[in-house]
Chain A
Amino acid sequence: MILPWLILIPFIGGLLCWLGERFGPLLPRWIALLTMLALFGLSLLLWLTADFSRAPAPGADPLWAYEFQVSWIERFGISVHLALDGLSVLMVTLTGLLGVLSVLCSWNEIKQRVGFFHLNLMWILGGVVGVFLAIDLFLFFFFWEMMLVPMYFLIALWGHSGSAGKTRITAATKFFIYTQASGLIMLVAILALVFVHFDQTGVLTFNYADLLKTELSAGTEYLLMLGFFIAFAVKFPVVPLHSWLPDAHAQAPTAGSVDLAGILLKTAAYGLMRFALPLFPDASAAFAPIAMGLGVFAIVYGALLSFAQTDIKRLIAYSSVSHMGFVLIAIYSGSQIALQGAVVQMLAHGLSAAALFILCGQLYERLHTRDLREMGGIWGRMPWLPALCLFFAAAALGLPGTGNFVGEFLILLGSFPAAPWITVLATSGLVLGSVYALIMIHRAFFGPARSDAALPGLAPRELGMVLLLAVLLILLGVYPQPVLDTSAASMQGVQQWLGTALDQLAQRGSL
């Protein structure tokens, strides 16, 4: 019974925030904070107590650490079916943590319509938790689409107006159209899968465990896999479909950016590992070279464009594209080590990107600009913030001792035997990463100062948030073993699905 509460808590909390607005702006903030703390606490509790050696693997009915099922729409065999394994618990915990932080970082930033803001924030997080827990494909799609609406409002109503022609509303609409259209393609693919299964067994169901047993012809499997891949690729984002991301990030309020980079992008990687690979292993194996190629391209392209940005939030957004490229390579490499690396990378990137966006938000509150050309010399004008920014930039470029290093190292290590050339090219992302990370620090904090007036320092709340993230990132970098242990069984399952298919493909190729 604990799983539905993970979803219900944010939804109910959000409604309470809205209702609480009439008692002043402070009440919604506290309600939201408590809601997120409850979510975070609950997910930590689950992480500490559950047995994560139970995870879905090929050849048998999926095992889960926790499972919950009630019937919902009998006509289509749809049920509210939630389940938790090592991968989902890590993602839910990350969601809870970033949820707390996004409430905290909007404490002073958001001054208008506080209740409605927190309603949207809570509902995004509720939707994301739903995505991480749902194993009924209809339910999964339901949450997948549902989290778009509050995100849209968050960007459109509380975002920053950008330069001419790039208003927050255009950015929000672009985000919505990209994800909605690709989501519908996934819905078509889901339904096609369901009807293929229906033709074979006569049972109409959206249940993950049943659909795993569907036998597909090679052509159909490939098409359906593409349907899923496109939806995930837009959210990932994979390069030809990425152009909503920088716009959305640049115009979003800090909390929106934190959620977008920290968790929303992770839903795509999660979707690939949970659904696309296990449901269509053979097609995924055939598609793997293309996907890995796209990953490498994203790494290099994201890094190059990141370097060229003058808007600090766009810079970080493009760096996200680059970092998620590593995850894409890892997922399709079919190696257990690389998959484990992908999990660590997702967590580490979630933490570091969130921290960078929070710092950007704090800079913006003080300077009222995000333009790097108007910054410079800030190192001397305020304590703490530049140094912290340097730390997270270093983390983003993969400095040993931070979680990002562990993630990228494992990914490269694991992918090398599978695809040496791709891995070699991907390594260039590390070099380019240091270029854009350092140029950001250089332009923002060094060089001639625009003015000598000291900027207000960080309040304890602001400092606490960022320091917490820094500590967690170092912990993840120095001692990643608990995370690796948690996700081991889940990743082993994914590896078996794709690995077997890759082996078969290789054998067929050698015959």
Chain B
Amino acid sequence: MPFTLDHLIALLPLLVTSATAIVVMLAIAWKRNHTLTFVLSVIGLNLALLSLIPTLEVLPLQVTPLLAVDHFAAFYMALVLVATLACVTLSHAYLGEATVDSSTSEKKGYPGNREELYLLMLLSAAGGLVLVSAQHLAGLFIGLELLSVPVYGLVAYAFFNKRSLEAGIKYMVLSAAGSAFLLFGMALLYAESGSLGFAQIGASLAANGSGLLVQIGIGMMLVGLAFKLSLVPFHLWTPDVYEGAPAPVAAFLATASKVAVFAVLLRLYQISPAMAGGWLNELLTVIAIASILFGNLLALLQSNLKRLLGYSSIAHFGYLLIALVASKGLAVEAIGVYLATYVLTSLGAFGVITLMSTPYKGRDCDALYEYRGLFWRRPYLTAVLTVMMLSLAGIPLTAGFIGKFYVIAAGVQAQLWWLLGALVLGSAIAVFYYLRVVVTLFLSEPNLRRHDAPFNWGQRAGGIVLLLIALLAFALGVYPQPLLELVQQAGLAAF
């Protein structure tokens, strides 16, 4: 297969992102400058997003046996890039400038080196881009590791804080364990089918039937991926890591990282028919129901907003599994819409936490009581968080409702009544804790020491991004047609 210009164009987003990472690295080596690094990263990510336009012209195209860039990949690339862009912008606000407050002689902002955070995020985003276009187990593994390894560093970035460091180590150990499972599973699959390409594995297994080795292999791969997606019973790291990670990093973990992993899981499930066998469906059904119920029930007990979002993300990926199990009809579309709305909403929610903790002050502002009466101090920020909570709960007029509607539609179409029952039950439980957060925002103010977002948060880059996200979440809730059309075209291509 000759390598032509078209192939390069198809890979353009990945190439631009990687080039940005190198440029940023060189810039840091040349001269440490927070704003310069930030600007370079943002320019690079925007260029990567723009480069999707020429890429769309040449799709679908298989680039090397490892990667297949189709409209599906392009859609998820855009999602990963947008999420990274938002996280980078939020990080800039979060890290703040290293100035010394003249009145209290307190140091404001993040005390360590700021610049590497952008580098790690860019690298991780590049991993995400590889992952969403992987059509080969090797591609999957490379992408997944490139996605995860920088995140270890990101989670522990605020290493002066014990929790952050602890979370980083925890994530590293568990993630490595997950990767080990994944690798072992791949090896078993390869042993049985003699191939690593998704489609070839599927064809080989369809021809020869799946023996015990294959089933164990698929099971182990599922364990590995479920770790990354924090599905029950592999969810234990989630709340701790979400709590310990700096807020913008938690946002990245919840959005870009999970979206990419779910996209590759979806591709694997769709392209290798053997993956969609009967027993696997039943296993996924059990995992989905457990994730929905455990995630929501445990979220009820949380008084820390980041932990609450962590548990709620477990439940949300349980909802997504419903569409994955449905696997036909609307399913692929439903996942696309749900992930898009989920990314938007999570970015918004974590964005508010980020701005509340801006600039860095040692620990994030994530206890629920710190948000009490926020409406009277920062009404617009409260409005943003309210919209996000309602969107997570799936209430009409927000993007989350459209996502949930789609997932229910996919479930009804595939007649998955048990899963739908779990979804209804889970949503009823979820309403309780989302509303608790919302009503906290509007209660009367306590007389406690607190830290708040700076008064001019809305005029800075982070704040503007947040307001845009909130507007988009509202607009998509009222008129989702553009998103639906986009997702409808983002189908998987067969090679």
Question: Contact between A188 and B396 (Cβ–Cβ < 8 Å)?
Answer: no
Q: Report the nearest B residue to A181, measured CB to CB.
A: B428
Question: Contact between A145 and B481 (Cβ–Cβ < 8 Å)?
Answer: no
Write the nearest CB–CB distance from A229 to chain B, whole angstroms: 15
Q: Which residues of B contact A152 (CB under 8 A)?
A: 435
Question: Contact between A191 and B395 (Cβ–Cβ < 8 Å)?
Answer: no
List 20 other contacts, CB 8 Å, given A177-B432, A184-B424, A188-B408.
Answer: A72-B481, A73-B484, A75-B484, A76-B409, A146-B395, A149-B390, A149-B395, A152-B435, A157-B442, A172-B439, A173-B431, A173-B432, A173-B436, A176-B431, A180-B431, A181-B428, A184-B427, A185-B424, A187-B405, A195-B412
Top 4 A-B residue pairs of the complex, sorted by shortest distance between their CB atoms: A181-B428, A191-B412, A75-B484, A146-B396
Question: Contact between B484 and A177 (Cβ–Cβ < 8 Å)?
Answer: no
Report Cα–Cα, A187/B407, bound state, in Å: 12
Chain B residues bordering chain A, tally (CB within 8 A): 30
Question: Are A75 and B442 CB-contacts (below 8 A) given A146-B397, A180-B427, A188-B424?
Answer: no
Q: Report the nearest B residue to A74, measured CB to CB.
A: B481
CB proximity to A under 8 Å, residues B473-495: 479-481, 484-485, 488
* Cβ contact of B420, chosen from A73, A141, A157, A188, cutoff 8 A: A188
CB within 8 Å of B: which residues of A?
Answer: 72-76, 138, 141-143, 145-146, 148-149, 152-153, 156-157, 169, 172-173, 176-177, 180-181, 184-185, 187-188, 191-192, 195
Q: Which residues of A contact B395 (CB under 8 A)?
A: 145-146, 148-149, 180
Is B413 in contact with chain A by the CB < 8 A criterion? yes
Q: Report the nearest B residue to A149, measured CB to CB.
A: B395
Q: Which residues of B contact A72 (CB under 8 A)?
A: 479, 481
Question: Contact between A145 and B420 (Cβ–Cβ < 8 Å)?
Answer: no
Q: Which residues of B contact A143 (CB under 8 A)?
A: 396
Report Cα–Cα, A70/B390, bound state, in Å: 27
Majority-rule SS of B interface residues: helix
Question: Contact between A192 and B412 (Cβ–Cβ < 8 Å)?
Answer: yes
Report Cα–Cα, A184/B408, bound state, in Å: 9
Q: Report the nearest A residue to B402, measured CB to CB.
A: A73
Is B88 in contact with chain A by the CB < 8 A criterion? no
Q: Which residues of B contact A141 (CB under 8 A)?
A: 396
* Cβ contact of B424, chosen from A74, A181, A191, cutoff 8 A: A181
Question: Contact between B428 and A142 (Cβ–Cβ < 8 Å)?
Answer: no
Show 19 A/B contacts (Cβ-Cβ < 8 Å), sorted by A. A72-B479, A73-B480, A73-B484, A75-B481, A143-B396, A146-B396, A152-B435, A153-B442, A172-B439, A173-B431, A176-B431, A177-B432, A181-B427, A184-B408, A184-B424, A188-B412, A191-B408, A191-B409, A191-B412
Write the nearest CB–CB distance from A389 to chain B, whole angstroms: 33
Map CB proximity to A onto B334-363 as digits: 1 under 8 Å, 0 otherwise. Answer: 000000000000000000000000000000
* Cβ contact of A156, chosen from B401, B411, B439, cutoff 8 A: B439
Map CB proximity to A onto B414-458 as digits: 1 under 8 Å, 0 otherwise. Answer: 000000100111011001100110010010000000000000000
Q: Which residues of B contact A74 (CB under 8 A)?
A: 481
Q: Which residues of A contact B442 (CB under 8 A)?
A: 153, 156-157
Write the nearest CB–CB distance from B139 to chain A, whole angstroms: 32
Q: Report the nearest B residue to A157, measured CB to CB.
A: B442
Question: Are A145 and B480 CB-contacts (below 8 A) given A176-B431, A184-B427, A188-B420?
Answer: no
Q: Which residues of B contact A75 (CB under 8 A)?
A: 481, 484-485, 488
Report Cα–Cα, A191/B417, bound state, in Å: 12
Q: Which residues of A contact B435 (CB under 8 A)?
A: 152, 156, 172-173, 176
Report Cα–Cα, A157/B435, bound state, in Å: 12
Q: Which residues of A contact B488 (CB under 8 A)?
A: 75
Question: Contact between A177 and B481 (Cβ–Cβ < 8 Å)?
Answer: no
Report Cα–Cα, A188/B415, bound state, in Å: 10
Q: Which residues of A contact B401 (CB under 8 A)?
A: 145
* Cβ contact of B481, chosen from A73, A138, A157, A176, cutoff 8 A: A73
Q: Which residues of B contact A172 (CB under 8 A)?
A: 435, 439
Q: Report the nearest B residue to A199, measured CB to CB.
A: B413
> Which of B390, B412, B479 has the largest count of A CB atoms less than 10 A from its CB?
B412
Report Cα–Cα, A152/B438, bound state, in Å: 11
Report Cα–Cα, A188/B411, bound state, in Å: 9
Q: Which residues of B contact A185 (CB under 8 A)?
A: 424
Write the nearest CB–CB distance from B445 to chain A, whole angstroms: 13
> Which of A75, A141, A152 has the largest count of B CB atoms less than 10 A from its CB?
A75
Write the nearest CB–CB distance from A227 to chain B, whole angstroms: 10
Write the nearest CB–CB distance from B297 to chain A, whole angstroms: 14
Q: Which residues of A contact B397 (CB under 8 A)?
A: 146
Q: Which residues of A contact B479 (CB under 8 A)?
A: 72-73
Report Cα–Cα, A75/B424, bound state, in Å: 24
Write the nearest CB–CB distance from A311 to chain B, whole angstroms: 23
Question: Contact between A157 and B431 (Cβ–Cβ < 8 Å)?
Answer: no
